Amino acid sequence: MPHEPKPGRGFAARIMTLQFVVVGLMILAAAAGALWVTVERVNDQAQGRALAIARTLAADPELQTQVKRYADAQDLDSAALRAGPVQEAAEAVRLRTGAFFVVVTEDRGIRLAHPTPALIGQKVSTHPAALSGSESVSREHGTLGESVRAKVPVFAPGTGTVVGEVSVGVGVQELAVRLRTATAWVLGLGLGALLLSAVSTRWLVRRLKSQTLGLEPAEMAQLLRDRDAVLYGVADGVIGIGPDGRISVRNKAARIMLGLPHRHESDDIIGLPYAQAKLPAPLVAAIAEGTGATLRLETEQAALVATVHQVTRDGSDLGQVVLLRDVTTIETLGERLDAVETMAGALRAQRHEFANRLHTISGLLHHGDVAEARDYLGEVIDSGPVREPVQNLAAIEDTYLRAFLGAKGVQAYERGVVLRVGEASALYGRLNDAQDATAVLGNLIDNALRAAVQGPTPRWVEVDLLSEGSTLHLAVADSGTGVEPGLEVFAEGVSTGTLPESEEHGQGVGLPLIRRLARTRGGDVWIADPGSELEGRGDEHTGAVFAARLPGVLSSGQGTAAHGTFEGKK
């Protein structure tokens, strides 16, 4: 069913937005990680470089001697220090190594060397940690700005006495340059990743839309719900077959109609090629043709009409759909309607005959022939009720069944056939399901009448009825030629339309239908005798005998041992 598109962004926009957010977060995380690693690496390199320079200078014996000399002096001349050997050595190291600064102090913290000569002779601005005898590395902001600095103690020559310290600083300008370079690389790679993500996402969305026929995910979910509502909300069976010939879907009605495995069982047909799904052979052939067809299927459960449809969209083959309709109920209603029409026809005939008698009496009285009218009325009374040419009908207790057999007797009489109730019949109680009983009995009588008409004379049909509790046992025999040996009268495709009237026994006139009707009640319909001489009958010819067992059609009654009469011939 059609659906209005929901407002808001479509699937492609949502996917691209999500992709951008994810990639953006990944880029930010990668940039932060890369910058942190760069900062740590540059700091480590700067600290190591500053420490190496400071250690080298502090280990110089000449520098150690000069620093000890200045440390022992009481007063220091700043001018002499600026031109002294310590300043010259420190400046030489600074210029050679490219350090930010090289500062040398004696043990009181007075600068002996500094890149800014005016500061020589003054105390350092930071705590002289190295004067305690340990090395230190830190990042500080001094008189020359931000730097990574290393402080190393200067020992007196040949002793462990601290006489001063060397402080070497490395500027952070290189760190800023490397950070800018790393940031540029990360941003460039991030923009490239975003662009690649946009292109790949767009391609993926187009691919998905082509495979989903342009449907959005919400539309596909609604379509799936609609499909389930249609599949499981209808009484017809539905089987879907994909272009690859595999069964993609089937509903519960189709499973029940064809007796297929449940979807939770290992041998479920979904996913199997239709030729391996144990479908009826005629249905498999119709699917294989691929042109669409309508055919009738006979199963143990029901009579079905199957329609095979070829499904295409925009010129693309989407597979086939098989629709199954259970026509058992319709055909059963038809059989019941036939029984009602039979009784209605018999009642019309009896009404016509009764009206004729009344008209005769009325005419005699109108002309004043009272004596003749009295004599005619006496003849009518002596002859009994309106003609109901069924012998031994009094053995049937149920009034509905008696009326039905009487109607069939009228039909038989009109066709030159005698309908009689067997002398061994004993039916007690009333029918509580007259429709099923008359549908089965009427079909068997109609078939027997057809066979008797085509058979030799005398022509007759005999009905035997026995009750066993609530179960009705019945047998219908005729004077026809019997059932042809080897002919499967209950098999699919054996019908009146396929045989000349002279050769048929009526075997296709609803026999599969009434057998299914009986079996749904736990009973059955079968051939008790295909045609033979019956003991004690005395008729010149005997035809087939069909028997049926219908549980639950009688409300009450005294039972008889019916199994020995019919079931022994089954």
Assess whether the region 236-326 and the region 333-569 belong to the same CATH fold: no
The domain made up of 236-326 is a member of CATH 3.30.450.20? yes
Side-chain half-sphere exposure of 220, counting CA atoms within 13 A: 10
For 203-217, 383-397, 427-441, which range has the lowest pLDDT when averaged over its residues?
A: 383-397
Distance CA 410, CA 390 (A): 8
Please, are residues 479 and 461 in contact by the beta-carbon 8 Å criterion?
A: yes
The domain made up of 1-233 is a member of CATH 3.30.450.20? yes
DSSP 292-358: -EEEEEE-SS-EEEEEEEEEEETTEEEEEEEEEEE-HHHHHHHHHHHHHHHHHHHHHHHHHHHHHHH
Domain range list for the chain: 1-233, 236-326, 333-569
Q: Which residue has the higher pLDDT, 278 or 211?
A: 278
Angle, helices 399-414 vs 328-366, to 10°: value is 80
Instruction: Give residue 350's pLDDT band: very low, low, confident or very high (50, 70, 90).
Output: low
Q: Give the three-state DSSP class for 552.
A: coil
- Give pLDDT, residue 420: 92
Please, are residues 176 and 156 in contact by the beta-carbon 8 Å criterion?
A: no
Instruction: Give residue 493's pLDDT band: very low, low, confident or very high (50, 70, 90).
Output: low
Q: What is the spatial order of strands in the sheet that 101-106 belongs to?
A: 111-113, 101-106, 162-171, 145-155, 136-142
Degrees to nearest 5, angle at CA 23 with 18 and 27: 150
In the chain, what's the furthest Cα-to-Cα distance?
A: 182
Q: Of 98-112, 169-183, 216-230, 308-322, which has the strongest mean pLDDT?
A: 98-112
Here the tokens at position 502 are 């002279």
Distance CA 171, CA 319 (A): 76
Q: Of 175-189, 324-338, 348-362, which has the strongest mean pLDDT?
A: 175-189
For 96-105, 169-178, 359-368, 433-442, which range has the lowest pLDDT when averaged over its residues?
A: 169-178
**Average pLDDT in the 290-315 region?**
80
For 236-245, 343-352, 496-505, which range has the lowest pLDDT when averaged over its residues?
A: 496-505
- Give pLDDT, residue 526: 92
Per the prediction, the chain carries an average pLDDT of 79
Q: Which residue has the higher pLDDT, 241 or 175?
A: 241
Q: Is the pLDDT of residue 432 over 90?
A: no
Q: Which helix (H) or strand (E) holds 246?
A: none
Q: Which residues contact 295 (CB under 8 A, 6 or more apart)?
A: 282, 283, 286, 305, 306
Q: Which residues contact 118 (CB under 8 A, 6 or more apart)?
A: none
Q: Which residue has the higher pLDDT, 115 or 558?
A: 115
Instruction: Give residue 79's pLDDT band: very low, low, confident or very high (50, 70, 90).
Output: confident
Side-chain half-sphere exposure of 492, counting CA atoms within 13 A: 14
Please, are residues 427 and 401 in contact by the beta-carbon 8 Å criterion?
A: yes
- Give pLDDT, residue 546: 94
Distance CA 99, CA 371 (A): 160
- Give pLDDT, residue 428: 80
Q: Is the pLDDT of residue 83 over 50?
A: yes
- Give pLDDT, residue 29: 84
Is the pTM higher than 0.75? no
- Give pLDDT, residue 461: 93
Q: Is the pLDDT of residue 495 over 50?
A: no
- Give pLDDT, residue 431: 86
CATH, domain 333-569, list 1.10.3720.10, 3.40.30.10, 3.30.565.10, 3.40.50.12160: 3.30.565.10
Per-residue pLDDT reduced to its tens digit, 506-560: 444 478 888 888 888 889 999 998 886 555 444 455 788 999 999 988 886 555 5
- Give pLDDT, residue 563: 43
Q: Of 112-126, 384-398, 556-570, which has the strongest mean pLDDT?
A: 112-126
Per-residue pLDDT reduced to its tens digit, 172-198: 676 677 777 877 887 788 788 778 877
Instruction: Give residue 498's pLDDT band: very low, low, confident or very high (50, 70, 90).
Output: very low
